[in-house]
Amino acid sequence: MTAPATEELEAEGPVVSRVDWAPAPRVNLLPREILENRRFRKVKAGLALVVVLTLVLAGAAFWWSDREVAEAEEARDAAQAQTSLLQARQRSYAAVPQTLAALDYAQTVRETVMTNDVAWYRYLSDLADAAPTDVSFDSLTLSVPRASESAAAAGGAGAGAAGAAADQSADPFQPAGALGSVAVQGISGTYPKVAAWLDAIDKIAGLDVSTLDSASRGSETDTSVTFSSGITVTDEALSHRYDRKAS
């Protein structure tokens, strides 16, 4: 009977289990001076780290600024070299404006002088083509007056019209735009051939108002007709090959 009772008491008693994670009370018995010394060493280490970081950052800033200054100096030197090169080239082209001005003056003078230029070779062919088979020429005298100073002041382009207006006021029988004349000395077999040739001339552009000055036979045995005529050259005959082109 005694044994069961003992078992019952053990069964009914409190159960004790060990707990490893429970904190154990600790007491710091170090003196205050030692603790303050440890904290001071930590502060000194932090301050030293801050000083080192400051020195590193200052060195990096100095290196970066020094590199920027070096790059700026290199860019300045390159710009100065380029400027010197351009100035040398500018000096080599210093005569270009004077040359261009001289060229412009020469072109203006040529335009003024050649205002009344006529391509006579074309009219020699046209006159020969317009002549009948039995009409031949002894001489052709083609004349156009030089451009006047007033025409040069006007720029040369209207010289023909200015000269035509002056001629028209002097001779009311001159056609509009009269500029010069062609004097013809020729021989034909008959009078009608001469008249036909004069009519054909009026169809040539730039030629107008053909007039017969004289026509006569040489003798009773010589049936050929010697004639002289005049042809008015108009401003339509101007070549304009020396006119300045608009820029």
CATH number of the domain bearing residue 122: 3.30.70.2830
| Together in a domain, 125 and 233 | yes
Confirm whether pTM is higher than 0.75.
no
| Together in a domain, 180 and 125 | yes
| 189 in any annotated domain | yes
> What digits encode the pLDDT tens for the residues 52-87?
999 999 988 888 988 888 889 899 999 999 998 888
**Highest mean predicted confidence (pLDDT) among 38-42, 81-85, 88-92, 122-126:** 81-85
Instruction: State the pLDDT at residue 245.
Output: 76
| Together in a domain, 52 and 89 | yes
CA–CA distance, 144 with 155 (Å, rounded to integer): 19
DSSP state of 51: H
Q: What is the band of 30 on the pLDDT scale with cuts at 50, 70, 90?
A: low
Instruction: State the pLDDT at residue 35.
Output: 75
Average pLDDT over residues 102-126: 85
| Together in a domain, 208 and 175 | yes
DSSP state of 215: E
| 120 in any annotated domain | yes
What share of the chain has pLDDT > 70, as a percent? 73
Encoded tokens for 153: 């002041």
Encoded tokens for 208: 């107008």
Collapsed DSSP state (helix, strand, coil) of residue 70:
helix
| pLDDT beyond 50 at 149 | no
- Number of independent structural domains in the chain: 2
| pLDDT beyond 70 at 4 | no
Instruction: State the pLDDT at residue 29.
Output: 66
| Together in a domain, 136 and 59 | no
Average pLDDT, rounded, for the chain: 77
CA–CA distance, 207 with 122 (Å, rounded to integer): 12
Q: Is 232 left (phi over 0), alpha (psi -120 to 50) or beta?
A: beta
| Together in a domain, 62 and 122 | no
Distances, alpha carbon 43 to alpha carbons 50, 53, 55, 57, 95, in Å: 11, 15, 18, 21, 78
The torsion angle over the Cα atoms of residues 30, 35, 37 and 38, rounded to 10 degrees, is: 110
| Together in a domain, 46 and 77 | yes
| 245 in any annotated domain | no
| Higher pLDDT, residue 179 or 158 | 179
| Together in a domain, 37 and 83 | yes
CA–CA distance, 189 with 195 (Å, rounded to integer): 12
Q: What is the band of 162 on the pLDDT scale with cuts at 50, 70, 90?
A: very low
| Together in a domain, 126 and 220 | yes
Instruction: State the pLDDT at residue 28.
Output: 63
What residue numbers bound the domain in which 38 lies?
A: 31-94
